[in-house]
Chain A
């Protein structure tokens, strides 16, 4: 158990809908990272937050947004969902910076029908 929790575990929804994925980092970790993993694209870095502030952005679509709250949990919002958004979404946390060991949550499997 990494100490990182993600909810929900599975999500099935229809095209055009909006969903919110939630992540609670390990106790004491200030950085949260979001990744998308699909079969054809591998593990793609989406975005990093550090202590409530956006720190780095990767291949995150404009339809996607994220935030980190004062209690350090984070949410990833996906809107206008398309079939291609079906993937595993992982959250990871680290103590502070990207060079620290990252601890991954169990992931949320999103299926868009």
Chain B
């Protein structure tokens, strides 16, 4: 298993601004997933990007993947107060059948 490391640990922005958070990992991956967790609730899957993809969009979310740098970024455009949550990345190793290991996440606060 490998763990992604999210950066920054915490981010505070105004409503309407864009939020960018980054994820770094150590070894080659099969895919990388991003999840969101509202306080005290279960994680919710946001997006999955495969190792042969460079960019993926889902609504206001844009995920990029740079396998040469072993990093990914999650961009939330035109943020809303409801985006306030912790965001986790979960890289999946090449073997494809090892458990996802979550890091400590990025805590995003969107201020109205």
Contacts and interface: CB of A to CB of B under 8 A. Distances in A.
Interface of A: 2, 4, 33, 35, 42-43, 45, 48, 55-56, 58, 88, 90, 92, 97-99, 101-107, 109
Interface of B: 1, 30-31, 33, 35, 40-45, 48, 88, 92, 96-105
Contacts of A97: 96-97
B43 A90 contact: yes
Contacts of A103: 45
Contacts of A106: 41-42
Query: What does DSSP make chain B's interface, helix, strand, loop or mixed?
Result: loop
B103 A98 contact: no
A109 B39 CA distance: 13
A104 B99 contact: no
Contacts of B98: 56, 98
B100 A45 contact: yes
